[in-house]
Chain A
């Protein structure tokens, strides 16, 4: 580990969050983002003059239009590609900008409509050499869910099991969502309900897929020192590591599953694969709750195995018997996740991590939560501490 990594542990913090989630038929993406920004400023007890950095993933309006709209000038602006895997890196950039003095406080803002106004159709699937989730439209290989379906099929082929093994994940997150007043999907889900939900792409059913909804989100990152003067208790950023990418890291897949051009082998994380734990000075056993990107249920299996919570092929047993539920061995996605709380590109997952560590989650609070990890199948992670 580098000296800088050691020095940065717990030196930056999340000081304010704002979230809107649901149906806002008459609101634009911009107006949802502005609303979330106001909520986060209020949550932190900050004024917009205190914010001098902005980061966002583009969704129909760009960072400069947002800044015009909120009447703020910043000295650090950055914008990335709107995919869930880039949510953690955005937060990491914010922490690094604050740590290096490029900004005093960075607001990460997001606004999105389920059905965008006036946007052209999505051309991503036609990219040179297959789409970002392996799509190939001429062959009917369509949609992000395709990437998750081919990964799940390979997982079941290598380790045994079938679609039914995903039911405990969907059901656990639905139980969590029922304790979350803002969750989009809150009706009870029995195993029968799960098995009766229609196939989307076999081996995945409707309830293995998140839904789209309107939403806005904002997180404000500042120095640990400044965060202690804010309205709410700071949530420190203890450790982090980036999105792993390349031929062995196909999107929506764990390394080793043989998706696309990946090699086939049983993945076990190496020391280097777990840099964030070293930076935070913890092991996975210190994690009180795991928050993982769950646009599709198999991704939860991959997230658990990526960080060594389970050995190769063992996650499908681990998720059973309430182990990933609140009160279980390792509560996962305590808000209901993207599967049941809603999809705000993953920002809502980070906001849940913050709220758990502030102990403001009411009925779904993980008791005495001290360390919450956001960590996903591509290896990107942020470890938070209260």
Chain B
């Protein structure tokens, strides 16, 4: 996988994430249906956003490890304003923040869940959405009981 700095997918009109060089293991894992984050080799904590050092103990030794994919819905908001034509067909839509079992919080969407059913504290699990041939977004859905 190569870094990518395309803002928009021309075919769909959807906004794309920038893929910075240091983030490639995350995006490669997403394509394989896995959340991989950096875990500190000194203090053992995982962190997000992706960066060159452990923000907890400042060690620069880390390994990329798979997260469980389980988490708790920590926060959400509902967009009613559509910023681009792609979003016009999708409002209202929710943006959520999920706190992973391992600690870091990710900003994502919640698939397969009506807006009215979203609750802070609900259990969620990782889901994946292919947005181009190269890029897969890590998403979440309500956890199966």
Instruction: Kindly list chain A residues whose C-beta atoms are within 8 Å of the C-beta of B80.
Output: 198-202
Contact A261 B104 (CB under 8 A): yes
A-B contact pairs, 8 of them (CB 8 A): A138-B15, A138-B17, A149-B77, A150-B75, A247-B55, A259-B97, A261-B48, A261-B104
* B86, chain A: closest CB distance, angstroms: 9
Contact A146 B77 (CB under 8 A): yes
Instruction: Kindly list chain B residues whose C-beta atoms are within 8 Å of the C-beta of A154.
Output: 75
Q: In the complex, A97 Cα to B63 Cα: how many Å?
A: 46
Contact A136 B107 (CB under 8 A): yes
Contact B83 A143 (CB under 8 A): yes
Contact mask for chain A residues 263-276; partner B; CB cutoff 8 A; 1 contact, 0 none: 00000000000000
CB-CB nearest in chain A for B8: A137
* B24, chain A: closest CB distance, angstroms: 13
CB-CB nearest in chain A for B76: A153
Contact mask for chain A residues 144-168; partner B; CB cutoff 8 A; 1 contact, 0 none: 0010011001100100000000000
Instruction: Kindly list chain A residues whose C-beta atoms are within 8 Å of the C-beta of B76.
Output: 153
Contact B7 A139 (CB under 8 A): no
B79 interfacial contact with A, CB 8 Å: yes
Instruction: Kindly list chain A residues whose C-beta atoms are within 8 Å of the C-beta of B95.
Output: 136, 139-141, 146, 150
Number of interface residues of B (CB under 8 A): 38
CB-CB nearest in chain B for A209: B81
Q: Give me the interface of B with A, judged by CB distance under 8 Å.
A: 5, 7, 14-18, 20, 23, 47-51, 55, 74-81, 83, 87, 90, 92-93, 95, 97, 104-105, 107-109, 120, 131, 137
Number of interface residues of A (CB under 8 A): 32
Contact mask for chain A residues 104-135; partner B; CB cutoff 8 A; 1 contact, 0 none: 00000000000000000101001011100010
Contact B18 A153 (CB under 8 A): no
Give the residue among A138, A150, A247, A261 with the most B Cβ atoms within 10 A. Answer: A138
Instruction: Kindly list chain A residues whose C-beta atoms are within 8 Å of the C-beta of B7.
Output: 121, 123, 126, 137
Contact B78 A201 (CB under 8 A): yes
Contact A139 B108 (CB under 8 A): yes
A203 interfacial contact with B, CB 8 Å: yes
Contact A140 B109 (CB under 8 A): yes
- Known contacts A137-B17, A146-B95; A203 and B77 CB within 8 A of each other: yes
Q: Give me the interface of A with B, judged by CB distance under 8 Å.
A: 121, 123, 126, 128-130, 134, 136-143, 146, 149-150, 153-154, 157, 198-203, 247, 258-261
Contact A258 B83 (CB under 8 A): no
Report the 7 A-B pairs with minimum CB-CB distance, sorted nearest first.
Answer: A129-B49, A137-B15, A202-B78, A199-B80, A138-B17, A149-B77, A141-B95
CB-CB nearest in chain B for A128: B20
Contact B92 A142 (CB under 8 A): no
Contact B90 A140 (CB under 8 A): yes
- Known contacts A201-B80, A202-B92; A128 and B18 CB within 8 A of each other: yes
Instruction: Kindly list chain A residues whose C-beta atoms are within 8 Å of the C-beta of B23.
Output: 128
Instruction: Kindly list chain B residues whose C-beta atoms are within 8 Å of the C-beta of A259.
Output: 75, 97
Contact B120 A157 (CB under 8 A): yes
Query: Which of A137, A142, A150, A247 is in CB contact (< 8 Å) with B97?
Result: A150
Q: In the complex, A27 Cα to B42 Cα: how many Å?
A: 57
Query: Which of B50, B92, B107 is in CB contact (< 8 Å) with A139?
Result: B107
Q: In the complex, A203 Cα to B51 Cα: how many Å?
A: 31
Instruction: Kindly list chain B residues whose C-beta atoms are within 8 Å of the C-beta of A200.
Output: 80-81
Q: Knowing that A129-B49, A260-B105 are A-B contacts, what are 13 other residue pairs whose CB atoms are under 8 Å apart, sorted by A's residue number?
A: A128-B50, A129-B50, A130-B49, A138-B14, A140-B79, A140-B87, A146-B77, A149-B77, A150-B75, A153-B76, A202-B78, A247-B55, A258-B74
* A123, chain B: closest CB distance, angstroms: 8
Instruction: Kindly list chain B residues whose C-beta atoms are within 8 Å of the C-beta of A146.
Output: 77, 95
Instruction: Kindly list chain A residues whose C-beta atoms are within 8 Å of the C-beta of B105.
Output: 260-261
Q: In the complex, A149 Cα to B94 Cα: how many Å?
A: 12
Instruction: Kindly list chain A residues whose C-beta atoms are within 8 Å of the C-beta of B92.
Output: 199, 202
Instruction: Kindly list chain A residues whose C-beta atoms are within 8 Å of the C-beta of B14.
Output: 138
CB-CB nearest in chain B for A259: B75
Contact A142 B50 (CB under 8 A): no
Contact A153 B109 (CB under 8 A): no
- Known contacts A129-B50, A138-B15; A258 and B107 CB within 8 A of each other: no
